[in-house]
Amino acid sequence: MATDCRNSSAPTRGDHEGARRELTRLRQQNPDRLHYPLNLARLELERNQPARALALYEELLELNPGNVTVTRAYAAALLSHDEPARARKLLTSLIQRGENRQPELYRLLAEAAGKEGRRRESHEATAEYYYLNGQTHAAIDQLELALQVPGLEFYDNARISARLHTFKNEARQEDAR
């Protein structure tokens, strides 16, 4: 049964409290539909209620572990509320599963790492973001910057160098076309 919120009791534009009540009602009626609690969390952020919003995102992630939409929204909320370490851990965990190679996840990871002062990780994530958006040369530039970060460990150097080699080979193929 489809739920229609276009009735006379529906909230009007700018009516955050009415929208919150309506989204809460819809969420209760449709507990399996993610978009109601996601929109409720976004609304809580708009209402300057970050604690409520972050708690909603955390609850959603517990109920839907590994969900890309929930993770992306939660990470963005964490970043906008000065919690880059939590956002980075959340995104790294999802990305390391290897199932989700979405550019936006890497963009958010780069931002989180950058806010924490983790330059190497930020450059690596930015490289993946560029690569996934078809910007192989920009990705190469980012990996070269990552290799210049002081204190780079042997394993990180080898991993980044291998990825750089892959990107350079692909760039040569792209340029030859």
Residues 139-155 have pLDDT tens digits of 999 999 999 999 999 99
Q: Which structural domain, as residue segments, surrounds residue 169?
A: 118-177
Containing 25, the helix (H) or strand (E) segment is helix 16-29
Domain assignment present for residue 8? The answer is no
Domain assignment present for residue 79? The answer is yes
- Residue entry with tokens 């999802």: 94
Residues near 109 by beta carbon (within 8 Å), at least 6 away in sequence: 88, 91, 92, 95, 121, 125
Domain assignment present for residue 80? The answer is yes
Indicate yes or no: pTM above 0.95. no
What Å distances lie between residue 104 and 68, 91, 95, 114, 175, CA to CA? Answer: 10, 10, 11, 15, 26
Distance CA 59, CA 157 (A): 38
Number of domains in the chain: 2
Q: Are residues 25 and 96 in the same domain?
A: yes
Q: Are residues 126 and 98 in the same domain?
A: no
142, 133 Cβ separation under 8 angstroms: no
Q: What is the pLDDT along the chain (177 residues), one digit of tens a residue?
A: 444 444 434 444 567 777 777 666 766 666 677 888 888 898 889 889 899 999 999 999 999 999 999 999 999 999 999 999 999 999 999 999 887 789 999 999 999 999 999 999 999 999 999 999 999 999 999 999 999 999 999 999 999 999 999 999 999 999 998
